[in-house]
Structures are given as structure tokens and as C-alpha cells.
Structure 1
Amino acid sequence: MPKDTETAKPADELDSLRQALLRKIVKYARDNIDLNNDTLVEELEKETRSQFEKIISVCKEAAAGAPAKKRIKRKDRMLRKDHISRFFLRYIENQLRKTGVHHSLIAVFANSVHYLADETQILQWTEKINRLMEFGGKKGADYDTILDSKPGKMITEEIMAVYKKEMSKSSGFEKKLKNNLDEALVKNFNPDVDGEMNIEDEVNRSFKEFVKLLQAKR
């Protein structure tokens, strides 16, 4: 069955049910004009219950295919987010790890680009990355090679430049990022592996290391 026909069928059925329900309500109200409002509402609820249940059933059937579509969209968003985060942190990730920043904080720093950049910038970077990935894929290049290619580096530099600019303008940025770092560290800290650690001190130190490395890249 054509997709348009499948979409139209529940919509047409809902429209028919809606009209039938309205006609029934109007007729019942006219036929029972002597009833007070409370009694009329109570009786109408009984009279129209089956029709409301039918409408709900049709709505559920119409929405049955929606979850798969939503999952695909969510997957696309997550993939887009991951690409931009990886490009953003490419220059400084290894250095950040060498400073002893806890592994759970790396992703927090990488993903922080998404609450500094606006949607227009995110879409522009996504288009550039997608084109580069497609081109690199045709050439047989792996992900790291694409990241370190000349156009890949240009995208990284562009993202970092916007990040630093927006970071300097956002008064609440430091607090928000530190809160996210704190949450990640509390969740992932393992004293048997990580030893003794003051969470607040580690968050402050990690933030300073991140900013220092970020500002060092011109």
C-alpha cells in the first residue's frame, strides 16, 4: 500500500469518528434539554464512552509506527553529536589524558560544545563532517585519518574557535561544566582503582587543565 494511503487512512477514520461524536452530543443535548448541566454531562459520558474509546484506539494504532521513526532520528542526533564532540577535542584529548584527568571527564569536556554552540553552527559542522566522512570513506580512509586530514583539522579549528568565543561570553558556562564534571566523577569514581580523591579539587584542577590546553591552541 502506498505510504500516503497508509497515512490518510487513520486520519480519515478519526475525522469520521469525530464528526459522528459531535453529532451524537448535539442530538442528545437537544433531546434532553430538560436535564441540568451536571446530569447532562454525566449521561453524555455514558453515551459516548464507546466512541471515545474507539478514537483512542485509532490514535494508538496510528502511532504504532512512530517509535521506530523516533529511534532513527535519535540515533542520527547521537551520531551527529559524537562526530562534533570528537572533532572538537581532537587536538587536546591526548594531552588532557596525560595531565591525569579522570577518564570519565573526557566525554563531558567533548560534549560541552553542544551547549555553547547554537543549532545553526551544529548543522553547519554536521554537513561539513558528513561530506568529509563520505569523501574519506570512498578513499578508504579510517576515522583517525579523516580527523587528522587537512579539512578535518580545519573543522576542528573552526569548532574550537567558536567554542572559545562563546565560552568567554557565557557567564554560566564554568558553573554548568563543573556541575557536569562533578556529576560524572561522582558516578564513575572508584576508590579501589583511583585511590583517594577530593572530588571538588579534582573537578577544579581538570577544568583548569582543559581551559589551559584549549587556550594554548591558536
Structure 2
Amino acid sequence: MNAPLATLVAPFQHEEEIKKSRFLAQAAPVTSPADALAFFQAVGDPAATHNCWAYRIGDAYRFNDDGEPGGTAGRPILAAIDGQGCDRVAVVVTRWYGGIKLGAGGLVRAYGGSAAECLRLAPRVAIIERRNLTMRVDFTDLALVTARIRELDGNIDEEHFVADGADLLVSAPLDRIEAIVAKVIDATRGRVMPKALIDGQTQGQP
């Protein structure tokens, strides 16, 4: 079984000197492309020779060589993000040129290596994929249903009271959803039938 992808707990940086050039890798957790671009803008050094970057947020990704030969900087940084099993992460590697050319292979190793080492050393947290359920629960079942949901690491994100009970919006790790549905149905003898919520639409029982 593959390990879950991870993001960073907080921004982190790692610095290396390679043939008199200084490489500063800075990484941060991000949740959107706009967050990533704002991070690059905030930490990049306009006085440096290059600020090369990449981000990965699920299926969305971008990279930029910032004047280095094509494919020698941004793409290796992205490869480092993927190789370290990271997601929802942005990395910028800033280079101050030290007077010795590294060549294409040397640049790939320098940018990719400094990014990978930064991510390897940074404190990380696993990304747990979550799903949502909705359910209407009578007042007589509410305490029992709430307990069963929380026993299986579910959260009650919203609770709207109606005349005879409450409408619940529940989130839980993906691998606990089926167990929560089964527990709730069993505990209430079928009086409560949770429904999956995908992209804002209820989808019936998962």
C-alpha cells in the first residue's frame, strides 16, 4: 500500500553552496495556485541571479526556470516535490551565481537536489483524503448518532436544527465513510440513512 501524500507543517528552508553558487530552497504548504504565486512573490529575491520555482496541488502544477536553460530548474524542482511524495506544496530555489558554470546536468542536480533536501528535512503531515455525508437525525437518535460518528474519526461540521431533529453535515477520512454509514444505520435501525455529498450534490448511499 502506498504511503499517503504529505504536505508541510510550516514553511521551511535549506541552503547549499555548489561550486561557489549559493542555492536557497524555500518550501511552504499551499492550497491554491494563487497561494503558491503569492509565496514565490513574497520570498523570492529580486537581486538574486534566478528565482526558479514549482508547485503541485493535486492535478494542478506549474514550474518556472526564471532564465535558466529550459528544463534545468523548474522541472527538476517539480520532480523533487513528486519524488518526495508531497502535495499542496510550493518550492522556490533562489540562486546567487558564484562565477562557475554548472552545465545543464549540474543545474538539474543543483536545483532538484536542493529542493529535494529541503522537503526531506521539513516537518510534514500526511494528507488524509476526506469525504462528506449528510443525514437527517431525529432528536431521539441525535446523541447516539453523534457518538458513533466521533468513534470513527468523523467530524460534525454543520448542525441545523429543524422541527423534529437536525440536519448534519459530516466529514470523515475516506476509509472510514463506509463504516460510519453502516454504524449509523445499524444504531438507528435504519431510521437514519446517510447520503454522500460530492461537489455539493447528494449522491445516495455510498
* TM-score normalized with structure 2 length: 0.26
Q: Over alpha carbons, which structure has the higher Rg?
A: 1
Which structure has the highest helix share of the two?
Answer: 1
